[in-house]
A and B are shown apart, each in its own frame.
Chain A
Amino acid sequence: MTLINSLRTQPDDRGHFGQFGGRYVAETLMPLVLDLETEYRKAKADPAFHAEFDDLLEHYVGRPSPLYFAPRLTEELGGAQIWFKRDELNHTGAHKINNCIGQILLAIRMGKTRIIAETGAGQHGVATATVCARFGLPCIVYMGATDVARQAPNVFRMKLLGAEVVPVTSGAATLKDAMNEALRDWVANVDDTFYIIGTAAGPHPYPELVRDFQSVIGKEARAQMLSRVGRLPDVLVASIGGGSNSIGLFHPFLDDPSVKMLGVEAAGHGLDKEHAASLAGGRPGILHGNKTYLLQDEDGQITEGHSISAGLDYPGIGPEHSWLKEIGRVDYTSVTDTEALEGFQLLCRTEGIIPALEPAHAIAAVRKLAPTMDKDQIILVNLCGRGDKDIFSVAEHLRVSL
């Protein structure tokens, strides 16, 4: 059945989500993204591809991830019931692996023999290094030098998994610069290399295919909710860096009008200071292959994002979110570094779960939202990563020396 008014049929055949998205790449890369699109269309229609994807998600990643009711957090906040989609329990500790499994299967289908990736927090780098080890392909991960320093455990993990980690020193030496460098690598290695992008951004078809692979989160959660409580949640909440864990949770619910959605951007030191909230503080522009909301100055120079979380300090956002904001289907808010740290500690204390700093932003938003809702309402939060990688930087912020 095709729904005429469905919000789930984007993008159009040119890769546009309304005015957003598209394929703004150098001519050298254009034939490659067209090839990828052709191959992805075939894979999407191939039951064998889906079977292999599903099998790996079940037996290698550990899906489905649990749906968990958080009683003590709910009680403490004194409002809506809070449920978590436990993607932090995935192999490698975050949602990033869902996407990497899908993309490495595509790479193999296309006969590519070398994998490159960019990473911010290092979670996507670890997930990419993991699938490369699993399939025996060489892996080069570009990572901003600043992030190499603040995410040392993940750098070591990638190396253990056999990846080469290339520190990038241009710009602020964070995620955006790592993405530039990965694109430069791709342009120079067009024949054998597959670029595994880590979020739902970049040139078409990446925003679509990353979303499709991550939609396993929302599909499972929707079915689990219906079987556990017999109804859909009232609000979905997820943190936003480039937007992959959030679109993965939201997309399967977009045509359920009763379900509200809240995306949480990183307000860093505050929206009037340094932050990484592209929707709240940016304007539409063109970067990294797509048109989307970007942090930029009046001349279109990109400004650096800041967040306590290395996975959120990207000055852009996936184009589907820009579109969902413009049509008003999803609400977006932001929380500061300080609020995220409080959210982090709150979850540790009330539920015995150490979250990554990225979903800690979602928890901080829930802390404000839940008390305003009724006790019979349900908030479903994407707990998209665990906090092992962050304990060193959290300790530093709490002025504890380890």
Chain B
Amino acid sequence: MSRFASAFQSGRSALVCFVTGGDPTPDATPAILDALVEGGADVVELGMPFTDPMADGPAIQRANLRSLAAGTKTADIFAIATGFRARHPNVPLVLMGYANPMTIRGADWFAAECTTAGVDGVICVDIPPEEDPELGPALRAEGISLIRLATPTTDAARLPAVLDGSSGFLYYVSVAGITGLQQAAQASIEDAVARLKAATDIPVAVGFGVRTPEQAAEIAKVADGVVVGSAIIDIVAAEGANAPTKVRDFVRSLRTAMDHAREKTA
């Protein structure tokens, strides 16, 4: 069974946690990733820092800048990924970022590095299906999942194009907007998840604006996965050396709330 398949088991909603690689320093990231897993994250998303994170809100923008200011290089991200894979052989690892750092040495180079580092999937914010040739074929040739985003603006006519060539899971961006700010209404999330699940067999995870255990629990009732990013980044930003402990406790609170929500509905 692939790592994604074991992370997204039926009857349970997977917790997908995002942090920016190299924030606050490349050396600090491994302990934060371990804390995500200890707290109960089922999938880890490692952000590749970029100077121009156009789809991100203030929290993740600042995380990108902190990481770059600490001197984080693409090589550091792959080293972090390699170390993570050695310590956590079964937890799916996804790289998330922007097109330019991913393609600058060629998509084939990037895909091969992902394989070597044990990366399972890639989310590239600014490569829509229309520009798939830029990255998709190279990833698929290496057996790396290309995880696409569906959004409130992805209508029924467009959805097949988004699903074509995507695998691992589908990431539903629940609000038209940037990361970390407002949250979508639960009813609209439920409608969207139902619509997406009718169109695909791959798991559907919901993210953007999910900040609290309560929100995560509500979404866990209907979605195959819940993605939390900015709320964790805020802890990393505030806690310095204490960040791993606080991150672990916060992630555990998310996981526990999600488990209870499912028990109640079951």
CB distance from A122 to the nearest CB of B (A): 21
Partner-contacting stretch, out of A19-27, A229-237, A367-375: A19-27
Contact bitstring A262-304, B, C-beta under 8 A = 1, else 0: 0000000000000000000001011111010010101111100
**In the bound complex, do residue A301 and residue B68 qualify as a contact, i.e. CB atoms below 8 Å apart?**
yes
Chain B contacts with A in 112-133, Cβ cutoff 8 A: 125-131
CB distance from A116 to the nearest CB of B (A): 14
Partner-contacting stretch, out of B99-107, B183-191, B244-252: B99-107
CB distance from B46 to the nearest CB of A (A): 15
Residue among B73, B152, B178 having the largest count of chain A Cβ atoms under 10 Å? B178
Q: Chain B contacts of A22 at CB under 8 A?
A: 130-131
**In the bound complex, do residue A27 and residue B176 qualify as a contact, i.e. CB atoms below 8 Å apart?**
no
CB distance from A34 to the nearest CB of B (A): 8
**In the bound complex, do residue A31 and residue B149 qualify as a contact, i.e. CB atoms below 8 Å apart?**
no
**In the bound complex, do residue B100 and residue A286 qualify as a contact, i.e. CB atoms below 8 Å apart?**
yes
**In the bound complex, do residue A296 and residue B104 qualify as a contact, i.e. CB atoms below 8 Å apart?**
yes
Give A26's nearest chain B residue, CB to CB. B55
Q: Chain B contacts of A180 at CB under 8 A?
A: 52-54
Q: B51: which of A24, A171, A183, A291 is its contact (CB, 8 Å)?
A: A171
Cα-based distance from A266 to B122 in the complex (angstroms): 37
Cα-based distance from A251 to B150 in the complex (angstroms): 38
Q: Is B137 an interface residue (CB 8 A)?
A: no
Q: Chain A contacts of B54 at CB under 8 A?
A: 26, 180, 183-184, 288
**In the bound complex, do residue B100 and residue A294 qualify as a contact, i.e. CB atoms below 8 Å apart?**
yes
Q: Chain B contacts of A296 at CB under 8 A?
A: 100, 104
Q: Chain A contacts of B178 at CB under 8 A?
A: 184, 187-188
Give B150's nearest chain A residue, CB to CB. A27
Cα-based distance from A287 to B100 in the complex (angstroms): 7
Q: Is A152 an interface residue (CB 8 A)?
A: no
Contact bitstring B121-159, A, C-beta under 8 A = 1, else 0: 000011111110010000000000000111111110010
Q: Is A113 an interface residue (CB 8 A)?
A: no
**In the bound complex, do residue B173 and residue A28 qualify as a contact, i.e. CB atoms below 8 Å apart?**
yes
Contact bitstring B44-61, A, C-beta under 8 A = 1, else 0: 000001111111010001
Q: Is B202 an interface residue (CB 8 A)?
A: no
Cα-based distance from A27 to B162 in the complex (angstroms): 9
Q: Chain B contacts of A149 at CB under 8 A?
A: none
Count contacts on B: residues with CB < 8 A to the other chain: 43
Interface secondary structure of A, over-half rule:
mixed
Count contacts on A: residues with CB < 8 A to the other chain: 36
Cα-based distance from A168 to B181 in the complex (angstroms): 18
Q: A285: which of B53, B55, B57, B104 is its contact (CB, 8 Å)?
A: B104
Give A35's nearest chain B residue, CB to CB. B153
Give B151's nearest chain A residue, CB to CB. A28
**In the bound complex, do residue B155 and residue A300 qualify as a contact, i.e. CB atoms below 8 Å apart?**
no
Give B157's nearest chain A residue, CB to CB. A31
Q: Is B177 an interface residue (CB 8 A)?
A: yes
Cα-based distance from A211 to B181 in the complex (angstroms): 36
Q: Chain A contacts of B162 at CB under 8 A?
A: 27
Give B104's nearest chain A residue, CB to CB. A300
**In the bound complex, do residue A299 and residue B74 qualify as a contact, i.e. CB atoms below 8 Å apart?**
yes
Give B72's nearest chain A residue, CB to CB. A299
Q: Is B65 an interface residue (CB 8 A)?
A: yes
Top 5 nearest A-B pairs (CB, nearest first) are: A300-B104, A188-B177, A300-B100, A300-B101, A286-B99
Q: A170-B61, A180-B52, A187-B176 are in contact. List 11 more A-B contacts (CB 8 A).
A: A24-B99, A28-B173, A28-B176, A176-B52, A187-B55, A188-B178, A188-B181, A286-B99, A288-B54, A298-B104, A301-B68
> 20 pairs across A/B with beta carbons < 8 Å?
A23-B128, A23-B130, A24-B99, A27-B154, A28-B152, A28-B153, A30-B129, A31-B158, A171-B65, A184-B54, A187-B176, A187-B178, A190-B153, A283-B104, A286-B99, A286-B134, A287-B100, A288-B52, A300-B74, A301-B101
